Structure 1
């Protein structure tokens, strides 16, 4: 069993790292490190901009917070939860995880000097081999120590779903892996202490890395199929939602839906797997085909909406900018691509979102959020992200937002047939 006096440092306090760190702090002396000083200041005051941890829980936590690696005490476990995005060419961008590894390398050296044998656990989504082939050499170089002797590696893929209050870190099954059987036992004990869902011991670190990356690639491919049939049925004048309602009565029909595929995981992770496949000389046809369909969906929707407006440019209200409903997460939002495509067709776009941060929307996408948007009328009102606030408005309120011959469009079929256009 793991020693409850063990010290843990979590590197990166975003959607993944913060819930993990708060959970760990209930059982162990835990430090949360984030290089964003503003983030640390907000969390110290109980405010989590991601909405994952409420104010009372944050203020009650014993989690220590810092933006200075030098202030992190020597620890037995270092858990890296930083983002792993893609670049403009859809290639894995490991710059942040490399930088975090350099930071951890310095901390590992202090931990070993303190008489500890630390375990560095990565939760960041990567392709198989990154932890051992890329991160480990950085840790060794910076610390001046030997991996597998002075310190050890583990990997436990993150499974945080932003806004999901059912599958939280304390309830889900955690996949764990370790460099040696003894390390695996320690990693398993660490996570077992914070989740009632138990742990699954992966055969190797590479197997655990691979498991994570295919989880989201599988969802991406299934959604791509839904998007393709939506395009086909659109040419037939069929409602995709009517078709799915009938098909879902079969017991083994998979309940996927068409739509824009954004966010940090599903729209990104398949490129990690396809990148590694291409390095090995394999052409990942299915993975890239799915990505091609999903990446092109925003443009296709924009064209369909333009046609619904009889090919005339007009005023458009886009309701929702975040990548999914009821969360403030703007990462890789495909609604932004949809807005750009509509603007390219000549439409005058107004964007409203009660959850999104206005400064972030401006910085990431050059879009201005209009708080007064619901006080005017438009030629086209598009419910792009069905936040609860929008659904609570009622159907008549949507109609009141349109001009005399205006159109109400519903991207996800959330209005139950009370729209003029849907997929």
Structure 2
């Protein structure tokens, strides 16, 4: 890097925005998103993901950056022409799965088409979106070549650096998490590694190839998925035996090499999705994954299991199930975070509705504006003057940890603590 580079970050969600803000402390950064409302909000210092505070956002905002100015700062744009001056393009768009759990690369391909239209000789395109091994070079690079008319590894180059953002985690911001990097040539790999190393204080790990870096990302979350599936299966077995799973795990955890995984609902944009990407690639190679997909199926079954346990407790307390009023506390995929992507709490809600219950949800972290919800679900803005036949603590938001849940229940009401965090006596937990 012989000159101060200009960096364009494509996609300003939970991954792209914190990354753009970090690079903007040292470089001229263009933050691009197709969502015009998102751009307008960010220009006003408002981040709906709550990953970047208004103070930190305003500290790096520099709307005076124009032309080829190379001073540091961040400006937001939804105009494709603004991307033409960049030297590095970092793509951080979502990589979801469809209703059949098949990887959906549409956002990634559209972002590649966009970058291909503005790509110039000498540019480097870095992907951070989660993919299975081979996507960068086999799916994205051909799009870049076609749209730009340039030749890969001669006119432009590519790299892959998997995102490791942990939404809602203020103790481990992006700069404090070791960054895996890779490049399409030895020299470019070194250049990309140096770029990230200039802002990542935790350090970097340069992988030997793009495919190695891609594979590292998908197995990180597949490993967690498998381990959580194991303790979820234990929770099901011990429920049949009348044994408290939490107490069993505490006892087993006294051994030095026991891994402290906890049972729960496994959703979100990573653990609940990434294993399908690895399994898909394995299937393309003629191998049908047994362990990975079995773990996914087991974890996806936990919503229905939780609902069945709640209903069982209600029956034991002589609570009539049909039209029973059930409160679900928390609907995001994890605690202290407004992210509802792939939240498995809705599986619990759906199952309770199927049993005939009337379900109300309460989550102080969610902005319910423009949210589309099942018509059978009531959204509560407050718990004042409310009583229920059952309460399900589904997400361990800080607001719930010391809450007196029992005061919102009828005399025979039950509490089911999915996360095992409530201080008061509960009637059931995973």
Judge conservation of contact 1:336–1:365 (CA < 8 Å) in 2: no
3-state SS in 1 of match to 2:341: coil
User: Using a 3 Å threshold, how does the CA distance of structure 1 residues 398 and 50 change in structure 2: closer, same or farther?
Assistant: same
What's the TM-score once normalised by structure 2's chain length? Answer: 0.94
Deviation at 1:174, TM superposition (A): 0.5
Matching residue of 2:265:
260
User: Using a 3 Å threshold, how does the CA distance of structure 1 residues 366 and 329 change in structure 2: closer, same or farther?
Assistant: farther
Could you tell me how far apart the structure 2 residues matched to 1:243 and 1:217 are? 24
Judge conservation of contact 2:402–2:423 (CA < 8 Å) in 1: no
Deviation at 1:375, TM superposition (A): 2.6
Deviation at 1:365, TM superposition (A): 9.4
The total of aligned residue pairs comes to 413
Could you tell me how far apart the structure 2 residues matched to 1:101 and 1:297 are? 37
Judge conservation of contact 1:321–1:353 (CA < 8 Å) in 2: yes
Could you tell me how far apart the structure 1 residues matched to 2:34 and 2:13 are? 11
Judge conservation of contact 1:330–1:361 (CA < 8 Å) in 2: no
Could you tell me how far apart the structure 1 residues matched to 2:8 and 2:367 are? 29
Unaligned runs of 5+ in 1: none
Judge conservation of contact 1:84–1:96 (CA < 8 Å) in 2: yes
Judge conservation of contact 1:148–1:179 (CA < 8 Å) in 2: yes
Judge conservation of contact 1:358–1:368 (CA < 8 Å) in 2: no
Matching residue of 1:226:
231
Indicate whether 1:18 and 2:27 are aligned.
Answer: no
Q: Structure 1 segments of 4 or more deviating over 4 A?
A: 363-368
Matching residue of 2:363:
353
Indicate whether 1:77 and 2:88 are aligned.
Answer: yes
Could you tell me how far apart the structure 2 residues matched to 1:336 and 1:107 are? 41
3-state SS in 2 of match to 1:309: helix
Unaligned runs of 5+ in 2: 61-72
Indicate whether 1:63 and 2:74 are aligned.
Answer: yes
1:87-236 map, 5 Å: 87-108=98-119, 111-112=120-121, 117-236=122-241
Matching residue of 1:299:
304
User: Using a 3 Å threshold, how does the CA distance of structure 1 residues 74 and 364 change in structure 2: closer, same or farther?
Assistant: farther
Indicate whether 1:389 and 2:399 are aligned.
Answer: yes
3-state SS in 2 of match to 1:359: coil
Could you tell me how far apart the structure 2 residues matched to 1:379 and 1:3 are? 67
What's the TM-score once normalised by structure 1's chain length? Answer: 0.95
User: Using a 3 Å threshold, how does the CA distance of structure 1 residues 3 and 380 change in structure 2: closer, same or farther?
Assistant: farther
Deviation at 1:289, TM superposition (A): 0.5
Matching residue of 1:312:
321
Indicate whether 1:31 and 2:30 are aligned.
Answer: yes
Matching residue of 2:405:
398
Could you tell me how far apart the structure 2 residues matched to 1:74 and 1:319 are? 47
Q: What is the RMSD of the two structures over their aligned residues, measured on CA atoms?
A: 1.4
Could you tell me how far apart the structure 2 residues matched to 1:298 and 1:194 are? 40
Deviation at 1:369, TM superposition (A): 2.3
3-state SS in 2 of match to 1:283: coil
